[in-house]
Structure 1
């Protein structure tokens, strides 16, 4: 790793994983098999990249920091075939990258971009087989939370509607350089088969969930007043006097499917 001379960039939220035991646990969680199309988001200094390359021989990495590209390519020589896409991951079309295959995504996601990356992946869920991501533990807690939890919210509902979300293990600050101020956690997300999802209109579903959680203290009747009336809420089997954090994912899907589409502008 001597090629990596540049220090982590605070502006990019870089915290490089250095603890070998946690690196091994992440590689075991991914467990690449022959024929898998592995794509790593933000390889950094190659802590996960190189062990995956040794196991799998081929990997595509998406890296925004130009200063890391040459050192990564040098480090991969003799290890495996590394293809680097120098781009903002939010500008990468995973569908186009997958082609006729489905991708397996892995990555230590920057804290400041984790939610946008998760939603970007959701948009391409049909092209993704699974995702193993490391994020801030607080975000993983929100992703996997159930109704009634203090951290159950829009992120929980949106992700669980389209994916099975399974927290795997916690990674302490000391496993990184520089150490972040909070714990991290590794999570696996597996997109659900389209027939199992049941969302009739993804845009309408997004609007309903956003409005419901937009003002958490309000009842659904009030929070959704600009989207639907109490009758539609009741028709979905939900009390209009309930609050969003009390409503399970399947009920939000039923509710969104009850709401008529907005007229074309």
Structure 2
């Protein structure tokens, strides 16, 4: 074995050193509906070790050339391909062409939400997503309406995936230890990805509503030029965190219909 990789602060690296937890994260994948898996941020391969044992084609992608060299020297399994690349800047076709694949990993904290947003952009190709985040971020993704942490990330993710918070991981199992707990989640894509409203408009409504989360929707969505009759709808007396995902879809439909009728 060559010398260990040094964790780099600017890459948000905290290397997991607990084998039991690594195996537990590998087992969060259901392997239903795909045989390809992309691991983001493998570091020194503590999770990779358990993933390559599965009957999958695995691509491990890391920005850190030191990590890549370490993996190439220590992991020679035929079902593993190691790539030095930035997931956020990569074309997803570089990994598995147009085939379906799942994503997993011990995600660098500083880019974890961006990884989720990129997954949502390519949801047609990604039936499952599991992995480790800062606990607060994992909870936010999985939060339901009425919860303080419920927000843009919760609504947009849960519009297309069923989100489940699986378990908490303490800082002590990392090198170096982060200052906060971590949380592992699983996202399983819904059977029907089509929304009964315009998807881009839905994103805009959700983001605008939560930009002023303390205000009622009547005030936070003023920029949508609501008609007087629509303003009277009871849904506009609520705050964004009170609305479920399906109610946000209904809200988007109401705004779409209102825009059509006011311009007729």
TM-score normalized by the length of structure 1:
0.89
1:62 and 1:86 in contact (8 A); partners too: yes
Change (3 A) 1:160 1:114: same
1:168 and 1:188 in contact (8 A); partners too: yes
> Is residue 169 of structure 1 aligned with residue 167 of structure 2?
yes
Separation in 2 of the partners of 1:55 and 1:145? 31
Deviation of 1:32 after TM superposition, in Å, equals 4.5
Query: Which stretches of structure 1, 4 residues or longer, exceed 3 Å deviation after superposition?
Result: 31-35, 95-100, 230-235, 260-263
2:34 and 2:101 in contact (8 A); partners too: no
In the alignment, structure 2 segments of 5+ residues that lack a partner are: none
Separation in 2 of the partners of 1:88 and 1:169? 27
Change (3 A) 1:57 1:73: farther
1:19 and 1:176 in contact (8 A); partners too: yes
> Is residue 220 of structure 1 aligned with residue 183 of structure 2?
no
> Is residue 208 of structure 1 aligned with residue 212 of structure 2?
no
1:134 and 1:186 in contact (8 A); partners too: yes
TM-score normalized by the length of structure 2:
0.89
Separation in 2 of the partners of 1:13 and 1:209? 29
Change (3 A) 1:142 1:221: same
Q: Which deviates more from structure 2 when the two are superposed, residues 22-31 or residues 68-77?
A: 22-31
User: Residue 133 of structure 1: SS of its match in structure 2?
Assistant: strand
1:32 and 1:55 in contact (8 A); partners too: no
Change (3 A) 1:84 1:161: same
Deviation of 1:232 after TM superposition, in Å, equals 4.2
Partner of residue 254 from structure 2, selected from 251, 255, 258: 258
Partner of residue 119 from structure 2, selected from 114, 118, 121: 121
Change (3 A) 1:134 1:62: same
RMSD of aligned residue pairs (Cα, Å): 2.3
> Is residue 243 of structure 1 aligned with residue 243 of structure 2?
no
Change (3 A) 1:232 1:189: farther
Q: Deviations over 1:96-138 (max 9, x none)?
A: 6443421011111111111111000000000012011110110
The 5 A counterparts of 1:59-208 are 59-77=58-76, 79-94=77-92, 97-194=95-192, 197-208=194-205
In the alignment, structure 1 segments of 5+ residues that lack a partner are: none
